[in-house]
Each structure stands twice: as structure tokens, then as C-alpha cells.
Structure 1
Amino acid sequence: MDIIVGTNNHSKLKEMQDSIGNPTINLISYTTIINKLLNFEETGKNFKENAIEKATNYANYIEQPVLADDGGLILEAFPELLGIKTARFFSKGASDSQKNEELLKLLENKSDSRKLTLFSTISYVYPDGKVLLVEEKLEGELAEKETGALGYGFDRIFYLPNRGKTLAELADDERNSYSPRVCALKKIIQLIEEES
């Protein structure tokens, strides 16, 4: 089964494909359908609205069902700072390590709370407007420094107190079992299959 994904980030698309561990599901970029890059403005007030808006825009344009996701971090110490603005918060073109460093500096002198929550919302929208939606989250703490070499994004600074490790110190299978994006992706694929 082919599932069209509304994203311009091919690294993310590959990571999503690798994480589902199901050779019968093929995640393909919308660009394979129209051979053209699209960029839509995000106007939602939360992850759910943004994910639905993204998928709807792509689905309407190519007239086929499209999967899209939105997500980000929420820091307990700065609840209004990231959220749906997570991607825009960091310096343009910053690497994962540079983004992690920005967060570590932000909480350098904040001892009251290092709690953070990683959110992932995935929607699948049909051209007729029907919406499938899954939201997942993972709670943890901001580590004192980058630790571990696996994963990507915030994995090296996302500390799991119950495991005594960051996500980047966990093997792929275990890390995927914690990942909100992977959990949401597997659930929405199940919903899509049930609709087929």
C-alpha cells in the first residue's frame, strides 16, 4: 500500500519509512505525484490544527488522500516559547546539535524545572474532507548535556528518568517504542488500512 506524505523533508520521510518496519507500506512523497514542490503557510493554533491543515492543503491540491504531521517540544519552564513554533524558534539552518545547544543554554540557569514533552500529531485527509487523526506525546526531562549517538533531533538531550538514559542511548527498537511520531504513525497506518 502506498501512502502519500505531505512533506518537503526527505530525511524525515526516510526516517518515517524505516521506523514502521512494514515492507507492505510504502510512504511516498507527494512530489512523485505532481513533480513539483509545494509550500503552504501554517496558520493553526495547535499541533492538531496544523497537521490537519497541512494534509488538507496537499490532498486538495493533488486530489488524493495525504498524510501530514506536526509536532514539537513544550518546555515546562517556558510553556509559550516552543510548541507549534518549535521549528521557527531555532536559528535558521541550525544542525540538530546546534538546536540542542540552544535548548541547553536556555535552561542553563533554570533549576525549577527541566521537564519537557515531545508531541506528535499525524493526520490523513481525504479529498472529500474526511479526517483521520492520531496524537501521541512523550514526557521526559532536558538532559544536562548531549548524550548518546543514536537517533536524531532532540534524542541526545531527551532524558527518560524511568530508563536513566536519553533517547539517543537506546537501541532503535526501544527508541521507536518511545517515539511519539513512530507510535502515532503506526496507529494512523492501522486506521488507514481499516478504511481501505
Structure 2
Amino acid sequence: MYTRRIMLATGNADKVSELAAMLGTAMKVLGISAFPHIGEIKETGSTFEENALIKARHVAGITGLVSLADDSGIVVDVLAGAPGVYSARYADDWEAKPGENRDARNMRKLLHMMAAVPEVRRSCRFVSCIAAVRPDGTEMTIRGEWEGRVLTAPRGENGFGYDPIFLDAVLNKTAAELSRDEKNARSHRGKALRGLLTRLPTFMAVG
């Protein structure tokens, strides 16, 4: 039985599902879809931390619930950190092919930008910053990173975003070839969430 409700400031059902799986039955995780009047949140920050806080502050202020927001993306060394905070909208300036969704278009652009880059220079990392904000304005942020490299073609059917072209540096599998449990154990978001979970009970207590 759920004893508390907590907001995740995203409309991405995959992220809501991931957080719910890690929190178990202690808390009911709600996404923005539960509050349609929230509307679009402009991510105007220049860092993952800034964007996560913008989203969590906005949602906590509207719902009156402890709110979490994740800002995450892929950081590619040879591209001076791009796509970075623009990962989700990296290829919005590219025309979509017939039947191509946003994730596929983003991957296509990144693979194009990396086409001439040799394997030894394809290092990258997934970065996740989770911000937690209470309605009284108390805040905290947690950061997690996952080291890997960019492949030259997608592999695997699981995951979302850039997962099919991100090769885990240790397991030699793409993020899209991992099960949910394997991914949670390795991923940037999993690391950030585990850090969050150790601090969340105290954070949620009324101070």
C-alpha cells in the first residue's frame, strides 16, 4: 500500500516507471500527466543541475508535493560535451525521416557528427542530475555518471533515448541490450537515484 505521494516532474512514462520500480511500494510516483494544468516547463538552465531544479521547483509550487526532477543527457568528449543539456532536442533542427521518432532522429544526428571519429576518441558518459524540492523551498541535488563510448550503429531493443548507441565501458553491452535490473545497477540515473534514496526519508520529513 502506498503511504506517500511524490511527484516526478516529467511527462516521460519510462522515467516514471524507472523511479517507481526503485521506490517500490513505499511511495506513489506521479508524473506530470496526473496534473495536466502544469503545462510545459521551459528548461533554460546551462547545466543539468540548473534544469533539474527549474522543473522540480515549478512542480512543487503547483502541486504542493515533494517533487523530483531529473535532467539527463549524453556528454561526448570529442564534441566538447555536446549534446549535453540539449540531448533531448539535439536534432530538432533536422528534418525527420518518414516514421522516425525524436529519439531515432537524435541518434542519427549524433552518429553523423561522430562519423569520422576513431574508436579511441569516442568516449562519452551519460549524466543524470536529480533535484528534490519540498513545497517549503528546501532543495537538494544528486548527480550520477555512467562511462561509455559511442558506437557507430545502434544495438539492442530495450531502453530509450541514446541507449542503443551507448556502449557500457565495463559490460561491453549497449544500454539497450541490458535488462531493467542490469541498467539500474549501472546507469547514471540508477546511481543518482540510489544516492537520493539514502537521503529521501529525512528530506521528506517536515522540518
* TM-score bin (small chain): 0.7 to 0.9
Query: Partners in 2 of 1:157 and 1:74 — Cα distance?
Result: 13
Q: Secondary structure at the match of 1:184?
A: helix
State yes or no: 1:97 paired with 2:101.
Answer: no
C-alpha deviation, 1:190, in angstroms? 3.0
- Shift of the 25–127 alpha-carbon distance from structure 1 to 2, 3 Å rule, reads closer
Question: Which residue identity does 1:62 align to in structure 2?
Answer: T
1:124 aligns to 2:132 (yes or no): yes
Aligned pairs for 1:141-156 within 5 A? 141-156=149-164
Report deviation, 1:68: 0.8
**Pairwise CA RMSD:** 2.1
TM-score after normalising by structure 1? 0.87
Partner of 2:191: 183
CA contact (8 A) 1:6 1:67 kept: yes
Structure 2 unmatched ranges of 5 or more: none
- The 2-side partners of 1:13 and 1:141 are apart by 26
Q: Which runs of 5+ in 1 are unaligned?
A: none
Residue type matched to 1:2 in 2?
R
| CA separation of 1:31 and 1:103: change in aligned 2, threshold 3 A | closer
Residue 58 of structure 1 pairs with residue 66 of structure 2: no
Give the equivalent residue in structure 2 for 1:9. 12
1:27 lines up with 2:29 in the alignment: yes
Pair 194,108 (structure 1): closer, same or farther in 2 beyond 3 Å: same
Deviation at 1:21, TM superposition (A): 5.9
Greater than 4 Å deviation, 4+ residue runs: none
- Deviation at residue 186 of structure 1 after TM alignment: 3.1
Q: Which whole-Å CA distance do the structure 1 matches of 2:202 and 2:135 have between them? A: 18
User: CA contact under 8 A between 2:183 and 2:190: conserved in structure 1?
Assistant: no
Change in Cα spacing, 1:35 to 1:80, as seen in structure 2 (3 Å) is closer
Question: What is the TM-score with the length of structure 2 in the denominator?
Answer: 0.83
Separation in structure 2 between the aligned mates of residue 99 and residue 29 of structure 1, nearest angstrom: 24
3-state DSSP of counterpart to 1:124: strand
Deviation at 1:5, TM superposition (A): 1.5
Mean Cα deviation higher: 89-98 or 136-145: 89-98
